[in-house]
Amino acid sequence: MFAYVKNKFVDYNQAFIHIDERGFKFGDGIFDTIIVNNYNLYQWDFHHNRIVKGLKSIKLKGDISGLKQIATKLLRKNKLANGLIRLSISRGVGSQGYLPETTKPTIVMQAMSAPELNSQMANLFLSNYRRIPSCCIPVSAKTMQGLCSTLARTEAVENDCYDALQLSINDKIAECSSSNIFWFKDGKLYTPSLKCDILPGSIRSAVIRLSPWPVIQGEFLIDHLQNAVEIFITNVAVKALSVKRIKPLNKIYTHTEVATKINSLLQLDIEEATRGKN
Amino acid sequence: MFAYVKNKFVDYNQAFIHIDERGFKFGDGIFDTIIVNNYNLYQWDFHHNRIVKGLKSIKLKGDISGLKQIATKLLRKNKLANGLIRLSISRGVGSQGYLPETTKPTIVMQAMSAPELNSQMANLFLSNYRRIPSCCIPVSAKTMQGLCSTLARTEAVENDCYDALQLSINDKIAECSSSNIFWFKDGKLYTPSLKCDILPGSIRSAVIRLSPWPVIQGEFLIDHLQNAVEIFITNVAVKALSVKRIKPLNKIYTHTEVATKINSLLQLDIEEATRGKN
């Protein structure tokens, strides 16, 4: 497999960056993961917009033109028609301390197969780690600051759960360590609004666009899930994955109809959006 | 110059890590910076203890034995008797998502000259970025989650200041982007306690140990600085650096006597602690 590192396509095993890369020293950069279908990037405009906004929010300047062309070339070189593109933009090499002294970002790209979709309903663990608030770092950007998610996901797995449900520091339902959350109640879909310090996920955005039910974005306490009929989580790897239980809460959710419908709408949208472009 | 990367001493220009290193993908690791004098590491026990606690707090397991020996060998190879050792421990290569699937941490070490000490008093900027609270990630560990510090320091420099003074999310004085803060008032030294979501800095610890004045660690609002006679910030690079003003507050601080005394005590302590060991 080939990867793209700093203007070059290189063998994955030779895909290296320098130890003084700020992405390594300080997690100083952003990344993104994009669905690939038929050699095409699904929702590229959404991702590109999030990348540009993200870079602006962390004050990372520098040339990032040609990302789509690089991704397409990488997929062709790897003969990977379907899967995921993972893209990182780190602030670059240089500067001993926190103050950036470089405007040459390092672009890294990888092409990879999509993981197998889960066929079982997922258990979530109500995390002890809160999401980082937006008064500390930009949270609408998919930054390399992944320790909070790493610790929450680890804690979830230690508790025999698939993922962690994390609250904001204001006790509102926020998101999972690597996915957004939706729930169905009274004929409507509910999901935390961007005020809850969540990442605006690309599948979250697609679900809001495609849902045949009204979608209410708001600020909700955990109690709001008590009378939900169905819960599911979303990201580019799992699409919409149904939730069975949120430990240590006792309620068991059994319905999967809404997630099933959303998944079929997503699949149609992906096919439609990527048809025949290549 | 040589660097140490994954069990090898390598030329600095060839010091690479893989793009799938979790330190690069997620800032998933810790680092530390240690003063070197006469080929000896100042306050090694403090640093080693912080490293061990830090690794535990981010649940990073794996062999990290021999760090001191590696550091000493690196200094000898580089013929660097005085300066700094910078040490990074990243969780290692592997695992596509946040969930760690590796227990082989990657150890990186660099030896470098200490920066020139500032002879001028520093201006601080009262940052718009709050310190990340300990309910989100461990803050007593020097993690690679450096975006908050990077953004705060950048904002400070944009406002013609040397560093940023950051508050906790509860409006308490916390620390600067890369230094701790002390102030002198009524014959006592004041500094934020660890409850204020600050890093327990190594020079902070030395100042508390060496101070001829009582040191009060507590939770203070920014108003507490209004009647301070003198302010200084501390880290391994600047030791104790006097502060002239905290923008946009108007008060000008002119005294430097306490910082001067602290610096001379620090210098004596460094000489004493590292004398004749090598």
Neighbours of A222 (CB within 10 A): 14
CB distance B217 to B224 below 8 Å: no
Note whether A25 contacts B88, CB cutoff 8 Å.
yes
Q: Is the pLDDT of residue B42 over 60?
A: yes
pLDDT score of B185: 97
Query: Which of B31, B130, B137 lies at the smallest CB-CB distance from A147?
Result: B137
pLDDT score of B277: 62
Q: Is the pLDDT of residue B103 over 90?
A: no
Query: Which of B3, B27, B131 lies at the smallest CB-CB distance from A19?
Result: B3
User: What's the mean pLDDT in A201-225?
Assistant: 98
pLDDT score of B64: 87
User: What's the mean pLDDT in A28-35?
Assistant: 98
- The larger pLDDT score, comparing residue A63 to residue A137, is at A137
Q: Is the pLDDT of residue A129 over 60?
A: yes
User: What's the mean pLDDT in A96-106?
Assistant: 88
CA angle A188/A194/A199 to nearest 5° reads 105
pLDDT score of B142: 97
- Residue A18 to chain B, least CA–CA distance (Å): 4
Query: Which of B22, B97, B147 lies at the smallest CB-CB distance from A26?
Result: B147
C-alpha distance from residue A198 to each of A175, A191, A217 (Å): 6, 11, 12
Note whether B132 contacts A129, CB cutoff 8 Å.
no
To the nearest whole number, what is the mean pLDDT of chain B?
A: 96
Q: Is the pLDDT of residue A260 over 80?
A: yes
Chain A residue numbers touching B130 (CB-CB < 8 A):
133, 135-136
pLDDT tens string A147-163: 999 999 999 999 999 99
Chain B residue numbers touching A99 (CB-CB < 8 A):
150, 153-154, 157
Q: What percent of chain A has pLDDT over 90?
A: 92
pLDDT score of A277: 62
To the nearest whole number, what is the mean pLDDT of chain A?
A: 96
Chain B residue numbers touching A59 (CB-CB < 8 A):
151, 154
Residue with tokens 């803050």: B139
Q: Is the pLDDT of residue A132 over 70?
A: yes
- Residue A134 to chain B, least CA–CA distance (Å): 9
Q: Is the pLDDT of residue B28 over 60?
A: yes
Select from A13, A53, A62, A1 the least CA-distant residue to A32.
A53
Q: What percent of chain B has pLDDT over 70?
A: 99
Neighbours of A154 (CB within 10 A): 18
Q: Is the pLDDT of residue B278 over 70?
A: no
Neighbours of B272 (CB within 10 A): 8
Select from B106, B225, B109, B209 the least CA-distant residue to B173.
B225
pLDDT score of A101: 87
Task: Report the alpha-carbon distance of residue A276 to residue B65 in Å, rounded.
Answer: 56
Task: Report the alpha-carbon distance of residue B179 to residue B239 in Å, rounded.
Answer: 9
Q: Which long-range contacts (CB under 8 A, 24 or more apart) does B243-248 make?
A: B243/B121, B243/B122, B243/B123, B243/B124, B243/B181, B244/B121, B244/B122, B244/B123, B245/B123, B245/B124, B246/B123, B246/B124, B246/B125, B246/B126, B246/B165, B247/B123, B247/B124, B247/B125, B247/B126, B247/B159, B247/B160, B247/B161, B248/B126
What's the token pair of residue B250? 């108007």
Q: What is the DSSP letter of A115?
A: P
pLDDT score of A234: 98
